[in-house]
Structure 1
Amino acid sequence: MPSGVAPSAAFTWHSESGEPPPARLAPVDDRLKADTALKRVRRGEFLLYTGDFNNAKQLLSAIGRRLAHPATARSPLEAFRAERRARQLEHETLSRIVVALDADYKLGLSRAPEVAQACRQVWGEPVAATTVVPLKQLLGMLGAAEWRRKGLAVPGLTGQLHPHYGVYLPTRTDYVELLLAVPDVKGKRIFDVGTGTGVLSFLLLQRGAASASATDCDSRAVACARENAERLGLAKRFQVTEADLFPEGKADLVVCNPPWIPEPPKNRVDRAVFDEDSRFLLRFLEGLPAALAPGGEGLLILSDLAVLLGLRPSGWLEEQFTRCGLKVKWARSTPARHSKAQDKSDPLHAARSREVTTLYCLVPATST
């Protein structure tokens, strides 16, 4: 990267939010103070950090501490809206501190770790002499690469799960444990809609399901699920394709753990949690009867956090079941046990502390 101010044509740009490349980059180093950096990025500048890696991380943290925190809200919905605005502002602000990688994805900051493997896992081979990325995003990629290397233990799963960057990490195990209570899966054909890492398919296959056909709209999730099936020795009974909803054909069990917040996603990673206007959920329910073999069942796993936040009215989900020609054969619920449900400093604690996740077994309303 040449010294001075660099034009965007001189580098390849990566942003999870789909933001356009910055028109200009202003090189900065360890002499930059957090207050000055904050003023400059608020003016819209993109600051190319060229100093020490650890100092760059400390600068990010210092800027983050200077951002305004949401005021106490009068309702859970107001708290949610304020929290989302704050997180978006934080993302936009911190994403303007960027770093440059060379033609081999080497980060040229002093004391910088090796980042090439993490970059290749996400982006593939370099295509330009210089790649520019927000430092905050690169740190997330490094953390994900470590999860992928070490693996993750999942309750009920024999073997480690190795998640990829940008694929929903199943550290919230409430919904996984609910699936372990599903009876009579032996010999059944499974559809797994929105598979993510593939964990739900793998649990059912290890319990004796005959096969699992999975789909996901994100190519990263497809690659992640396929790799994990190989690692777990399940590849012969597991198939995954990049698709929006259902695989072709019919299944004995159709399982889905959809995004549970009916709001627009802000970036690619958000799509695992945010489902604008419940579009994915509604299309899943509308298409479910046609995807079921005779006697088949749909397994929908959904948190009630949207209701507690005031984003959906109570009873809305049951109304959609009826509208789509479905009925609940049985349901099992569990209270949230994730860390945010216990964190009283969380702005959404009032809602999250009461969150319940439910596994609904759905069948066509005409079935006996």
Structure 2
Amino acid sequence: MSQGGSIHWEEGGQNCSAVWHSENGIAAHKKVVIADDTFTADDAYRLACEGTAILWKGDFQNARQLLQALVRRIDKPSKKSKRAGKRVDKSTDVTPKKTAKDIFNQHRLIQSQRARILGMLLIQCNSDHTIPLRRAPDITQACSEAYGTVDHSYIVSLRELLGVISAHEWRKNGLPILADENGEPIYVHPHYGVFSPVRGEYIELVCSAPLPKSIDGASTAFDIGVGTGVLSIILAMRDVQEIVATDQDDRALTCAKENIALLGLGSQIDIVKANLFPAGKASLIVCNPPWVPARPSSLLEHAVYDPESQMLKGFLAGLKEHLLPQGEGWLILSDLAEHLELRSRQELLSWIEDAGLVVLERIDTKPKHPKAFDDSDSLHFARAAEITSLWRLQIHQKY
């Protein structure tokens, strides 16, 4: 369980403290006030914006409603900003046009500020993961799955706690990824902190791409960055006989092992803790790295943001040493970063060439997730143009 010092507050004339917990590494708040059901949303919003945390002591369901009230206040433009927008004379406006990268950076800044404000509403949990508040749900299993066993009371943001509860539901109910030969859905069960494979378009690419011919002689594959295990499961369902899946994250390794065991695929898939590649060579090596070259600021963002494209470049650079003759590397990658001006297509092609690889084929698909069709999203211009591709790569013949 991640800890970040202690939270201190005054209650009933006494000084109190508890362990502070933040999965995203946020430092323990210095200013803390006690709040209950008499606290107004306007007061909470003002304090949160000023950097004062609010330790909730009232009804749990009222705390959830307060959090929603904070969301509405953050997301609703102020009357002042609306009036300012109406006063702009576009014929004389000389404000420099923002680049795609500017818009992306502003979007991340707004999201960060939003998360900071919403993270100011705090809940105290007992050492057995119960919440000593009226109408509090039973979260013991959800928190045990996410945090493990603890021997102390701790304080966590309500926003993080709701994420833990939501992750428990995903884990319990599972996520359908494809159908078996009888048309019955096959599920994976994401764990807390492990990215859910909700983008079905890349799953369809891996299901339909032609397997390399070398599979006939050596039915082996590596899955780099296993996550929930979804790509390994697909390859096993496509009759690849020996699959080695790697990851550096312990939660991902545990999650993948559980999903593979539930489907009875343990004899085909071996899970190994490694940075990128395991030892040896394979006929097929697949990787779905984070798609955007930026620094993650939260736990789940590690599956979305790849600082300086480190994982992407590491995968490409290592393929030559780990592919069998006539084997293929499958790179699953969105071009969203290109539309955001964070990486160019020429950069990607140069990394492929420098790694001694050639492109056999690129199989493209359009995204189907709701954000691609949400024109109120500040990044809609990029999401609407996004293409997700499976790049079939092979070692250049000169090597």
Residue aligning to 1:286: 317
Match of 1:269 among 276, 300, 305: 300
TM-score normalised by length of structure 2: 0.87
Match of 1:251 among 266, 278, 282: 282
Change (3 A) 1:234 1:67: same
Q: Does 1:143 align with 2:166?
A: yes
**Counterpart Cα distance in 1 of 2:291 and 2:104:** 14
**Counterpart Cα distance in 2 of 1:11 and 1:2:** 12
Residue aligning to 2:38: 31
**Greater CA drift, 58-67 or 192-201:** 58-67
Residues 109-120 of structure 1: matches in 2 within 5 Å? 109-120=133-144
- Unaligned 5+ segments in structure 2 are 1-8, 86-96
Q: Does 1:67 align with 2:74?
A: yes
Residue aligning to 1:194: 225
Residue aligning to 2:120: 96
Change (3 A) 1:287 1:102: same
Q: Answer with 1 or 2: which has the greater Rg.
A: 2
**Greater CA drift, 89-98 or 65-74:** 65-74
Residue aligning to 2:91: none
Q: Does 1:183 align with 2:206?
A: no
Contact 2:178 2:186 in 1 (8 A): no
Residue aligning to 1:134: 157
Contact 1:7 1:24 in 2 (8 A): no
Match of 2:343 among 296, 312, 321: 312
Change (3 A) 1:4 1:296: farther
Change (3 A) 1:150 1:42: same
**Greater CA drift, 233-242 or 258-267:** 233-242
**Counterpart Cα distance in 2 of 1:160 and 1:193:** 20
Q: Does 1:339 align with 2:346?
A: no
Match of 2:332 among 286, 295, 301: 301
Deviation at residue 277 of structure 1 after TM alignment: 0.9
Instruction: Return the letter of the residue paired with 1:134.
Output: S
Residue aligning to 1:160: 187
Contact 2:221 2:240 in 1 (8 A): yes
Contact 1:38 1:63 in 2 (8 A): yes
**Counterpart Cα distance in 1 of 2:15 and 2:354:** 54
**Counterpart Cα distance in 1 of 2:37 and 2:270:** 50
**Counterpart Cα distance in 2 of 1:7 and 1:289:** 61
Contact 1:305 1:355 in 2 (8 A): yes
Q: Does 1:171 align with 2:201?
A: no
Residue aligning to 2:92: none
Deviation at residue 162 of structure 1 after TM alignment: 0.7
Instruction: Return the letter of the residue paired with 2:48.
Output: V
**1:180 alignment partner, SS class:** helix
**Counterpart Cα distance in 1 of 2:102 and 2:52:** 31
Contact 2:221 2:243 in 1 (8 A): yes
Residue aligning to 2:11: 3
**Counterpart Cα distance in 2 of 1:6 and 1:38:** 26
Q: Deviations over 1:183-215 (max 9, x none)?
A: 235662111111110100000001101121111
Deviation at residue 314 of structure 1 after TM alignment: 3.2
Contact 1:5 1:27 in 2 (8 A): no
Q: Does 1:21 align with 2:52?
A: no
**1:153 alignment partner, SS class:** strand
Q: CA RMSD of the aligned region, Å?
A: 2.2
Contact 2:179 2:186 in 1 (8 A): no
**Counterpart Cα distance in 2 of 1:181 and 1:120:** 38
Deviation at residue 302 of structure 1 after TM alignment: 0.2
**Counterpart Cα distance in 1 of 2:40 and 2:273:** 45
**Counterpart Cα distance in 2 of 1:183 and 1:200:** 15
Match of 1:51 among 58, 61, 68: 58
Contact 1:301 1:359 in 2 (8 A): yes
TM-score normalised by length of structure 1: 0.94
- Unaligned 5+ segments in structure 1 are none
